[in-house]
Structure 1
Amino acid sequence: MLVSEIEIITPQSVNDCLLLLSKNETEHRIIAGGTDAVVRMKEGKWRPAAWINIKGLKDLRYIKEKNGAIHIGPLTTHTDIIHSPLLQKRADVLVEACREVGAVQMQNMGTIGGNIGTASPAGDTIPALFVLEASIELQSINSSRLIPINQLFTGPGRTVIKPNEMITNIIIKPQTENEIGIFQKLGPRKAQSISIVNVAIMLSMASNRECLGGKIAFGAVAPTIIRAKKCEALLSLNPLTDDIIENIAKVAWKEVMPITDGRATAEYRRDMASALLERGLFRLMRRWENK
């Protein structure tokens, strides 16, 4: 099938889109920015009989604070997130992740909902959403449900999203004054390619280098994004001195579960996961001390 032979349907509202999704008459797939879709189609994948183009649904593009949480529409672009004063102040780890999503052109076109829906284990925004304890709102024509992001993915490219559902909202927990976050990525070319390894870190700090707790999420080291629970348990046991940080990073080497593929060996990914975590923790300590 040629790309030009694929039907594109453009709904005029979210409700129109949900009506289309409720009909199982043909194989369909939602498209927004299309940054992943074009690549997959060229590879001979993602060839549905019809694409549902939701790029024009402006009701799904927003960033707002409501009832103590931050709500982000699925059609919000990476550029929108990068330039949001609210997210720069209350979710800097997500802003940093979006800065690493491809070139500027991809940041302008790509959407956070698309990054989630693609369900790539190397997706840059997803580890950041893990440490921000995001919940994903899924809506169908008759109902909606809220899924914690750590329950959304079932494997590479696979989620619990049903064929008649679409992402309509991403809800994150804002960072408090004593929380600091960072996103670290290793790719073949800076900010231009899929991650070989990435990590998002969120720490809740007290005085000096005393950590009250934290969250660490790795990408591209397992079939889905993983939380490094063993590393997290060590964060609050002692002040985060240089020696303690180095020891925590060594634990990460054993906690990740990477594979060997065309981009890197499993051993290299383990080494880099440990190195990125160590570098990220050192940088966070410098930020905290200079705050």
Structure 2
Amino acid sequence: MKVSEIEMISPQTVEECLYHLGEKDKTSRFIAGGTDAVVRMKDGAWLPDTWINIKQLDSLRYIKEEENGIHIGPLTTHTDIVHSGLLQKKADVLTAASKEVGAVQLQNMGTIGGNIATASPAGDTIPTLFVLDAQIELTSLMEKRIVPINEFFVGPGRTVQAQEEMITNIIIRPQTENEIGIFEKLGPRKAQSISIVNVAISLKMGEKSRECLGGKIAFGSVAPTIVRSEKCERMLTINPLHDEAIQDIAGAAWKEVMPISDVRASAKYRRSMASALLERGLYRLMKRWDER
């Protein structure tokens, strides 16, 4: 398809976007940073009747704390997230993930809303949203609804978002003072490629040495959607997180992931690397906690 054959509109408000989404005789897709959309279009996967350019909708680009959590606009870029003092303090696991989203040029262009809407099991920010109990606000001309992150994705590239809806807000739980997080990623080249495996970890620590009061672990690129490692999470509180406990927890991870083999890695390799990344992440978190 030639560029001249592509219909693109640039609404000035969210209401205009919703109006165009509601047109029954046309298919449409949003484009903001274009880091996913342009690639998919070239591959012939995404060819809607109309592209809706929302890059200039500044009302959807923000990071702010409200009573019910930290609100992040869908057009917030990964660079915005990396440099946010609020997120560095209260959602460090998310800032760590955004640092790993491709090269700096991609971080400048790519948006968190685009990462969510693409619904790739390998999306770097998505596991972090699971450990931060994110909620996705979906808006249509008729209503607004909130969907918990664990109910939003139904498969690779598939979500519960309806054709007439757009993501208008992402709400995350702020981390407490005794909570620390980390994001670990394995890719062919550091920070430049799609994850072979990734993991987000958030731990709530106690007053005793390496005492963990609870935690959340989410793996990406090991199943059709993100996998919460519930068995490993339960093991976090059994013993202080010294070497033996960390190794036991990491050893249990391979039973909870369900990877496939593809051109990037075999299922067996992904299972092994899921355990290795979890072990490395827990070691690094404990080193940080010890140095506080």
Q: What's the TM-score once normalised by structure 2's chain length?
A: 0.98
C-alpha distance in 2 between matches for 1:168 and 1:78: 17
Aligned to 2:283: 282
Shift of residue 41, structure 1, vs aligned partner: 1.3
RMSD: 0.7
Deviation per CA, 1:49-98: give whole Å up to 9, x if none.
Answer: 11011111000000001114100000000000000000000000000000
Q: Secondary structure at the match of 1:138?
A: strand
C-alpha distance in 2 between matches for 1:91 and 1:4: 43
1:14 matched to 2:10? The reply is no
C-alpha distance in 2 between matches for 1:53 and 1:44: 19
C-alpha distance in 2 between matches for 1:3 and 1:215: 45
Percent of pairs with identical residues: 70
C-alpha distance in 2 between matches for 1:266 and 1:8: 40
Moved more, 15-24 or 259-268: 15-24
CA contact (8 A) 1:79 1:107 kept: yes
Shift of residue 4, structure 1, vs aligned partner: 3.5
Shift of residue 27, structure 1, vs aligned partner: 1.0
Shift of residue 23, structure 1, vs aligned partner: 1.3
Q: Give every structure 1 segment of 4 or more consecutive aligned residues whose post-TM-superposition deviation is greater than 6 Å.
A: none
Aligned to 1:148: 148
C-alpha distance in 2 between matches for 1:43 and 1:254: 35
C-alpha distance in 2 between matches for 1:278 and 1:219: 15
C-alpha distance in 2 between matches for 1:106 and 1:3: 22
Aligned to 2:49: 49
Aligned to 1:30: 30
CA contact (8 A) 1:119 1:158 kept: yes
Equivalent runs, 1:71-82 vs 2, <5 Å: 71-82=71-82
Q: Secondary structure at the match of 2:36?
A: helix
Aligned to 2:223: 222
Aligned to 1:240: 241
Deviation per CA, 1:183-236: give whole Å up to 9, x if none.
Answer: 000000110000000000000000211100100000000000110001001000
Deviation per CA, 1:110-148: give whole Å up to 9, x if none.
Answer: 000000000000000000010000000000011000000
Aligned to 1:251: 252
For 1:119, the aligned partner's letter is A
Aligned to 1:59: 59
CA contact (8 A) 1:3 1:41 kept: no
How many residue pairs are counted as aligned between the two chains?
A: 291
C-alpha distance in 2 between matches for 1:84 and 1:58: 17
Q: Secondary structure at the match of 1:223?
A: coil
C-alpha distance in 2 between matches for 1:9 and 1:28: 10
For 1:259, the aligned partner's letter is I
Aligned to 1:184: 184
Shift of residue 38, structure 1, vs aligned partner: 1.1
For 1:281, the aligned partner's letter is L
Q: Secondary structure at the match of 1:277?
A: helix
Q: What's the TM-score once normalised by structure 1's chain length?
A: 0.99
